[in-house]
Amino acid sequence: MHAADPHTTAATRGMQPAGAGGAGHVDPEGGVGELLELEQLEPLIFRGRTHAGDRIRLYGGEVAAQAMLAAGRTVPPGRALNSLGAYFLLPGDSTVPVIYKVGVARDGGTFSTRTVEGCQSGRPILWATASFQSPERGLSHQVAPSPARMPETLPSAENALADDPPTLAWISEVTSRLPVEIRFPDGSLHRPSASGHIAALRVWLRTRHKLTDSPEIHAAGMVYLSDLLMLAASLQPHPHRIADGNVWFATIGHSVILHAPARADDWLLYEVESDWAGAGRCLTRGRLFDRTGRLCASTTQEAVLRVSEAECGGGRAAKNADR
């Protein structure tokens, strides 16, 4: 669909301009909580809000989080999201409301499963499945995060990237479009992670504005944050940077498994690793920890990864208009 790392900001093609009656507009200062608000049109149909301003591609985390919320509002009380898998089919248009159509796949004794189709102007842009679980106790273990400086001790992204103007410009664009805050425990987006992995990065993330205390909103907030910067890890072994004009990403699929509740408006440490890239695609996986070191979510993402013909050393040039 659209680039999950929101550096692919060209206007979408083939989308009708806004004008769908009744859809509200997002207040740019309203934060993630307002971005994720949905209007229920029918028992299994929900509508998102449009963005004011120029038409740009929707951020994938926003659409996935709204799909999760739509699905969650159709399950029996007391069941929380345990996993979400989303496929991005077409670029989303920020000026057109997304309609989410929920399908009831199953309500069991412990788990509920839902399907969600996100559509704009009658065309599907997202297909997702979501699973929800009643509270349950069981065996427990987790991996620990690598030691990292606490976010309060780190410079702002602007200061950390002051010697890297292209990346600073890109990060500034991201944080101007998305109401999030970012800190780099390793000092830079491109500095190798302390893990020693061939392609890895770490970043502290949180929403810029406080959210309500609703557990479902914070779960959606984690889904929203989980789509940010993942694909940058795939470039670590290569002589390219995410801000380069000859690099193009588009997310194919994104999955999130939630392990423990966490506040999305408090700092979360995101450890991201890319185990493979090839054939015009890349694979990344991530772990979200809260500040106490508790593992709150695991993620995977598959994406198109293309660079220009000259940089590839032959073959076809990157196809930026249609993956």
120 catalytically annotated:
no
What pLDDT score was predicted for residue 195? 67
Residue 283 Cα to chain centre, angstroms? 15
What DSSP string describes 147-158? P---GGGSPPHH
Burial 85-96 (b: 16+ CB within 10 A, else e): bbbbbbbbbbbb
What pLDDT score was predicted for residue 244? 82
What pLDDT score was predicted for residue 194? 65
Active-site position among 12, 50, 251, 299: 251
Active-site position among 5, 93, 186, 227: 227
Domain ranges of the chain: 25-135+150-312
**What pLDDT, in 10s, does the model give residues 160-205?**
999 999 999 999 999 999 999 999 999 888 776 666 788 999 999 9
Contact by Cβ (8 Å): 51, 26:
yes
95 catalytically annotated:
no
142 catalytically annotated:
no
- Whether the model clears a pTM of 0.85, i.e. scores above it, the answer is yes
- Report residue 88 as tokens: 């991005």
Read off φ and ψ for residue 282, nearest 5 degrees: -145, 160
What pLDDT score was predicted for residue 85? 98
Q: pLDDT digit of tens for each residue in the chain (323 aa)?
A: 343 343 332 223 233 322 334 556 676 678 999 999 999 999 999 999 999 888 999 999 999 999 999 999 999 999 999 999 999 999 999 999 999 999 999 999 999 999 999 999 999 999 999 999 999 999 999 999 999 999 999 999 999 999 999 999 999 999 999 999 999 999 888 776 666 788 999 999 999 999 999 999 999 999 999 999 999 999 989 988 887 888 888 999 999 999 999 999 999 999 999 999 999 999 999 999 999 999 999 999 999 999 976 545 443 333 444 55
**What pLDDT, in 10s, does the model give residues 124-170?**
999 999 999 999 999 999 999 999 999 999 999 999 999 999 999 99
Cα–Cα distance for residue pair 59/295, rounded to 1 Å = 25
Percent of the chain scored above 70 by pLDDT?
A: 85
Q: Per CATH, which fold does 25-135+150-312 belong to?
A: Porin (2.40.160)
Q: How many other CB atoms are found less than 10 A from the CB of residue 312?
A: 14
